[in-house]
Structure 1
Amino acid sequence: MKKRKRRYHRKTKTSQPAAASGNSPRVFSFGDPEPVLDNNLADYLGTFLEPHGDYYIPPVSLRGLMKLLGASAYHGTIPYFKRNMLRKWYIANEVLPPEDLANAGFDHAVFGHCYFQKILNPFGQVLRLQHLPALNMRRRKEADRYCLLQPNGDNPVLFAPGEVIQLKEYDPKQQIYGRPQYLGGVQAVLLNEDSTLFRRKYYRNGAHMGYVFYTADKNLSAEDEQLIKEQVRQSKGAGNFRSLFVNIPDGKEKSVQIIPVGEIATKDEFERVKNLSRNDVISMWRIQPVLAGVMPENVGGFGDIEKISRVYYENEVVPMQDVFLALNAHLPQGRRIQFSKPEFPSNA
């Protein structure tokens, strides 16, 4: 069997010749090793009780999903847009304040589930609903019981049976927590982030992808060679991009050559990766580019925005409203929540 090649980064090192000959080639590299990070969410295997057996651990890291919002400009803003669409046509009701509805809508879009606490009057009737942050909510092992984890790690806040209402997306693998709809596009979000970070490092690095400094002149002394090495190293880094003068007496044509590495290939690849990953992110949220803030690249644009808004309302906003209208099953008659219907132009 063939041995698999190991990938690794080599530190700055000078390769010494086998024999002390003035004509032996000398090769050296420069640059600090860059760590290669694997940005992966936890393997999606199912839901299990935590070690103490008090509550179920979510199948996907909720903190990982929260941090993922900062990895892409589009992935981080689209949940707020969906939250705004949910709140836009909500008829204000004292039972469920608009702020609580909006926060719960954001949780539902990002985590796949959201929670409300029933605030009861002395007669046991629902006075109002209060949003509970989904990031720290956990389902206990007893049926219909939940707890709220404390930031300091102390004992969680326990809720009575039936005190908490959970709204969640369907997940065929488990029925404890919801499953975000966009999980299939997580790699596109991370690719978009990686390409941006790579580009930032590219511009912050004064050497810009590096080059091969090639010499083939026997008149170059060891002292001069060491001096060139130091000058090349000093030219690397932010604000240190500078020219280098080399004078070799009795040198021949092409005694010194500068060979760029990867400069041309990276110019168009960055834009291509950004566009492809952006399209994947928009597709995984099922939102039209014009609603996501994408600038059109053609003269015609993306079409009639009023028609696009109407289609988005009917296909996405109405089903999202239906999720929260399920709260009415827990509210008394006359105190139920409602949404108004927008009046789109007749020609839209």
Structure 2
Amino acid sequence: MARRNKRYKAKADSQTRKKKTSGDNSPLLFSFGEPEPVLGGNWGDYLGTFLQPNGDYYEPPISQKGLASLLGANAHHGTIPYFKRNLLRKWFTPNKALRPECLANAGFDHSVFGHCYFKKIRNPFGHFLRLAHLPALNMRRMKEADRFCMLQPNGADPIVFQPGEVVQLKEYDPTQQIYGRPQYLGGVQSVLLNEDSTLFRRKYYNNGAHMGYIFYTADKNLGEKDKERIQSQIEQSKGVGNFRSMFINIPEGKEKSVQIIPVGDIATKDEFAKIKDLSRNDILSAWRIQPALAGVMPENNGGFGDIEKITRVYYENEVLPMQNVFLQLNEWLPKGKRIGFDKPEFAQN
């Protein structure tokens, strides 16, 4: 109760200070606060999973739609999951129990969401036929053990699967054991920073007359019509045809009759390239992928080194572990329908 009274008192004091300063002409000072966490909360501070209001299934600890939307925020973050999916499918041995496109889609889900799902397809006699991919975006774990459901659009009732009908593969999450945790979460802030810098650059490009300077005049020889003409020329420099120079002639003007005071001179203090490079490096580190494999152009003549050696190291450190994740499906497959992967030529010797 005491804490609540303190909050009310602090709120009242804040409102009182606003009333005192609203009518005077004192200078207004302000400062920017701390960066806001992603989606209103820190990715690493969630408490776990909880049953949804009806109590039928568990809500994921991280917004699945948010993770899917994040793919469009950055060029590298949006294409690396496809690259990993392609490598997973490249060496997959054709198998009737699991189609290559089903494996590829499940590999994509596993990289983006941290978990993927398969449905066991059986014939009318109950014999196993094959595995079918289920989109991880709408899959939920029900409160009953080994039972899942799939959410439907427009608020329709979820599709409920029978116990043991769905196979789930997931990354390890130390905070909960119901859903998986994607490995790139530490780089989400860099993904958003990269997107923000690109959006800022687009706005600057489309509006060349941004607030980058203060056009200051202090000459009695400038009349009202002259001021209006200067203002009109500045306003017309926006959009197409911007970055134009302007000539001003003031008869009997003084040395500092017209001054250009930079405020945010992006032409001389542009941090755009540095922000893009630093955030890109964070994104590649979060995905643990070499720049040569991510389509990054080298900045020196030497490049990134031997691409074949880089591919071998990436195969051993990333592709093989991802293959081992999906080889766990053999625990649910009959002996004659178990899946496997071929070895590339550089890994056979």
Sort the TM-score into its range (normalised by shorter chain). Answer: 0.7 to 0.9
Deviations, residues 123-154 of structure 1 (Å, cap 9, x unaligned):
32321000000011111111111111112221
Spell out the pairing of 1:20-59 with structure 2 (5 A cutoff): 40-41=38-39, 43=41, 44-59=46-61
For residues 335 and 321 of structure 1, the distance between their equivalents in structure 2, rounded to whole angstroms, comes to 17
Q: Which runs of 5+ in 2 are unaligned?
A: 1-12, 15-24, 26-34
Aligned residue number for residue 324 of structure 2: 322
Q: Residue deviations 1:43-100, cap 9 Å, x none? A: 3332111122111111111111111111111111110110011111100111100000
> 1:243 Cα shift?
4.1
User: C-alpha displacement at 1:240, in angstroms?
Assistant: 4.6
Aligned twin of 2:266: 263
Residue 228 of structure 1 aligns to a residue whose secondary structure is: helix
**Structure 1 runs of 4+ with >6 Å offset:** none
| Larger helix fraction of residues | 2
Inter-CA distance 173–188: structure 2 relative to 1 (3 Å threshold): same
Q: Write the letter of the residue equivalent to 1:263.
A: I
5+ long unaligned stretches in structure 1: 5-16, 18-36
**In structure 2, what is the Cα distance between the partners aligned to 1:311 and 1:172?**
28
Q: Tell me, what secondary structure is at the counterpart of 1:284?
A: helix
How far 1:39 moved relative to its partner?
7.5
Answer yes or no: is 1:78 the counterpart of 2:80. Answer: yes
Greater shift, 285-294 or 212-221, is seen at 212-221
1:97 aligned residue: 99
User: Separation in 1 of the partners of 2:119 and 2:76?
Assistant: 31
Following superposition, the deviation at residue 212 of structure 1 comes to: 1.4
Q: Deviation at 1:343?
A: 1.5
Report the counterpart of residue 190 of structure 1 in structure 2.
192
SS in 1 for 2:305: coil
CA distance in 2, matches of 1:42, 1:201: 25
Per the alignment, residue 200 of structure 1 pairs with 202
Measure the CA separation in 1 of the matches of 2:51 and 2:295: 41
SS at match of 1:344: helix
Secondary structure of the residue aligned to 2:346 is coil
RMSD after superposition? 2.4
1:260-311 C-alpha deviation (Å, 9 max, x unpaired): 44134443x1111111111111111111111111111222221111111111
Query: What is the TM-score normalised by the length of structure 2?
Result: 0.83
Q: CA deviation at 1:160?
A: 0.8
Query: How many residues in Structure 1 have an aligned counterpart in Structure 2?
Result: 314
Question: What letter corresponds to residue 207 of structure 1 in structure 2?
Answer: A
Match of 1:291 in 2: 293
**Letter in structure 2 aligned against 1:123:** F
Q: 1:154 aligns with which of 142, 153, 156?
A: 156
Pick which of 94-103 and 154-163 moved more.
154-163
Aligned to 1:32: none
Please say if residues 47 and 57 of structure 1, whose CA atoms lie closer than 8 Å, have aligned partners that are also in contact: yes
User: For residue 40 of structure 1, what is the amino acid of its counterpart?
Assistant: V
> How big is the shift at 1:210?
2.7
In the superposition, the TM-score normalised over structure 1's length comes to 0.84
Structure 2 contact 194–279 (Cα < 8 Å) conserved: yes
Whether contact under 8 Å (2:209, 2:234) holds in the other structure is: no
Q: SS at 2:345's partner residue?
A: coil
Larger displacement relative to structure 2 (227-236 or 202-211): 227-236
1:306 — aligned with what?
A: 308
* Matched residue type, 1:88: K
Alignment identity in percent?
Answer: 72
